[in-house]
Amino acid sequence: MITIRKGESKDAPAIALVEKEVMKAPWPLEVFESDLGEDSPWVFLVAEEEGELLGYLDYMVTFDSSTIASLAVRKDAQRKGVATLLLDRMEEELRKEEEAVLTSTLEVRASNEPAKALYRKRGYLFVCRKKGYYEDGEDAEYYVKGLIS
């Protein structure tokens, strides 16, 4: 059974491995060690099965909006609902915030068709294209989802 929990500093090495496996320009371990620290504004959610990390999502809340920085799932765990579980849990956590969080936003590589399909299926709407957003020059697509119905 897949479980979702808040990420902890001990998860940094496993998160970095997932990142390295699936991202075109992975962040180094040191970034995750810092972002999982106590004073970090980033919130990490991790998906596990039998003690093995399958994927993670990290986001930040700024006033009435949340921003997803990354959502990554190991290749051998993709297309099994892990990303959907992580997104569901994030929205659940956002509903618990003291101040209302009205929107969730993200950027995704323009070439990442599976991720864009997932986000659209989950209610995210395309807003605009950001030219040359990534270090390698690839464009990003910016999406937003309203969280208050």
Helix%, strand%, coil% for the chain, nearest 5? 30, 35, 35
Report pTM.
Answer: 0.94
* Helices and strands of the chain, counted as H and E runs: 4, 7
Each residue's pLDDT tens digit, 100-145: 999 999 999 999 999 999 999 999 999 999 999 999 999 999 999 9
**pLDDT single digits (tens) 11-64:** 999 999 999 999 999 999 999 999 999 889 999 999 999 999 999 999 999 999
Q: Which two tokens stand for residue 38?
A: 């106590």
